A and B are shown apart, each in its own frame.
Chain A
Amino acid sequence: MKIFKLLTLFLFLFSFCSSYAEQEKLEQKITKNLRCLVCQGQSVHDSDTEFANSVKLLVKKKLNEGLTEKKIYDYLKDKYGEWILFDPKFNKKTYFLWLLPILLFVIGGLLIFKLFIIRKN
């Protein structure tokens, strides 16, 4: 029974699912990746400050001009510094950032292997 309810629930949900225009989706993705400089905890998308609203317009304009996502990031990075991007690029400043958790994961795995699997034999 419950599974039935669940299925109806999902069918119901699909009717909600609006088919966004591709550009609108991309706009959202970009503005969510930008950090607002005025209220510094929020993304440009979530913020309603004058600055954020202008950036939203700017992103729309640049996309219409045919710029790619990466070009827009580069443009804003040039104006405001790398800080404005929420998704730090993989470069020599961020090697550790991206690799440290994975490295710890591998070390953890090796430790577990050494302590529990080998001990058995």
Chain B
Amino acid sequence: MKIRVIPIITTIFFIIIFILFYRGLENSNIYVPKTNINKQIPTFNAKLYNSSEEVSSSKIFKDNQFYLMNIWSSWCVPCRDEHGFLKELSDEKNLKLIGLNYKDNKESANKFLNELGNPYDIIFSDPKGIIAIDWGAYGVPETYLIKNKMIIKKTIGPLDKNSIMEIKEIIK
């Protein structure tokens, strides 16, 4: 009897391994942080883009108002693609657009805005990229929809038709 136990256990073991690998095949192998987060926004001090004045974020983000925080840079190619969508959103009355200019230099950023238009109500600059980390971003562009100091929606990568439809749906 004893001899039969080991083969059965081994077989079952390998069947389990097989199933695990099989299921694992379906999962993506590239890690993306969770986007359906409901998190308090970080507080930070940052220089405003147009002046050297340093502002605390707590003065900017008010309750009962939707904000869209967009991390962008003039050197980032997808930012160019999504810029049109941002301008479309800037027409929305109950949404304030806040830009975070990520590791950029002023000249090319100005050129970028002059060329494509400025959809932002306020722009912070983040020359070292540290504020972006505060927000949990790891690339440009990333976009956060905020209400009552909570992040209610996060988009990694450029905005597209679908994502702005969703945003419009939420802020209605």
Contacts and interface: CB of A to CB of B under 8 A. Distances in A.
Query: Within 8 Å by CB, do A and B touch in the complex?
Result: yes
B130 A54 contact: yes
A101 interface: no
Contacts, number: 42
- Give the interface SS of chain B, mostly helix, strand, loop or mixed: loop
- Give the interface SS of chain A, mostly helix, strand, loop or mixed: helix
Contacts of A50: 103, 129, 139
Contact of B128 (A38, A54, A80): A54
Contacts of B14: none
Contacts of B136: 79-80
- Which of the four size classes fits the interface of chain B? 10 to 19
Nearest to A83: B31
Interface in B105-135: 128-130, 132-135
Interface of B: 30-31, 33-34, 103, 128-130, 132-136, 138-139
12 contacts: A37-B138, A38-B138, A40-B30, A50-B103, A50-B129, A50-B139, A55-B133, A61-B130, A79-B133, A81-B33, A83-B31, A83-B33
